[in-house]
Each structure stands twice: as structure tokens, then as C-alpha cells.
Copies of this chain bind each other. A is one copy, B any other.
Amino acid sequence: MNRGQGQSEEAAVRSVIESWTSAVRRRDIDGILKNHSPDIVMFDVPPPFQSRGIEAYRKTWDMFFSWTRDPIPFDVADMNVIVGDDVAFVVAAMGCAEPGSDGKPKPLAFRLTVGLRKIGGQWTIVHEHHSVPAVD
């Protein structure tokens, strides 16, 4: 891939991620799922250990939206895109909120890795890994 192509593909992957985070902030489930594979494998912050397939993935957002209050923070703090001809991944530090012990949302920083394939000319999310460090 030449340098110009790489920059253009990187921009396309960034656009997929930004479209997805924007849809989360709008509670727009169709927008969230727009560029996702039917076979996505999700490793989320809360249990379960993994969610396989788009229906299981959709349910992780039902749970998230059931306790999240508007306006929903779901923001990229830092993002690095590694892009090839038809495979890419994204490494990011993210910010959202979690329910605090007083019932009010409190800021939560989490780690995010996203894996993508270019399928039919469209960058498609096939894997997401969201986590926070474990505490004893």
C-alpha cells in the first residue's frame, strides 16, 4: 500500500469509530450496529466473559443504556489506528461513566481495542475488547 492509500484507509477506519461513538451518545442502536459483522466477538467491561454474534452484541448495549443517563459520555481520549489493505485494528483510551455508589454517574476511563476487516469495500468491525484494569 502506498502512503496516500494508507492515509485514506486510516481516515476511513477513524470515520467508522467516530460514527460508532457518536451513535452510542445518541442511544442510536441502528447506528451502533451499522458497520458491525454478524459474527462479531465482544469482550465487554462487565460480564459475560464474551458475547458472540450481533444479537448478543446488541444486548450489551441494552444493558448499558438501561443504567446510563443523558447526556451519555462515550469519548475517545487517545486513538491509534493500524491499517493494512484489508485488516486493521484500533487501540484507544476511552471515557464513559459508570453508576456511582451514590446513584450518580461517575467518570470511568476504559481501554478499547477494535478489530476490523474490509468486506465488500467497507471497513467492518469484527471484534471489540473493552476493559478496565482488575482490582483485588
CB distance from A115 to the nearest CB of B (A): 5
Q: Could you say which residues of chain B place their CB within 8 Å of the CB of A80?
A: 41
Q: Could you say which residues of chain B place their CB within 8 Å of the CB of A127?
A: 82, 89, 91, 113
What does the 1/0 interface line of A48-90 toward B look like (CB < 8 Å)?
A: 1110000000000000000000000000000010111111110
Per assembly, the copies of the chain total 2
On whether the beta carbons of B89 and A86 are closer than 8 Å, the reply is no
In the bound complex, CA of A46 to CA of B45 (Å): 14
Number of chain A residues whose Cβ lies closer than 8 Å to a Cβ of chain B:
34
Which of the residues B44, B87, B113, B126 comes within 8 Å of A129, measured between beta carbons? Answer: B113
Q: A82-B115, A91-B127 are in contact. List 20 more A-B contacts (CB 8 A).
A: A46-B133, A47-B135, A49-B109, A49-B133, A50-B93, A82-B126, A84-B84, A84-B86, A84-B87, A84-B117, A85-B86, A87-B87, A87-B89, A91-B129, A111-B129, A113-B113, A113-B127, A113-B129, A129-B131, A132-B134
Q: Which 10 A-B pairs have the closest CB atoms?
A: A84-B87, A131-B131, A84-B84, A43-B111, A47-B133, A113-B129, A89-B115, A87-B87, A113-B113, A89-B89
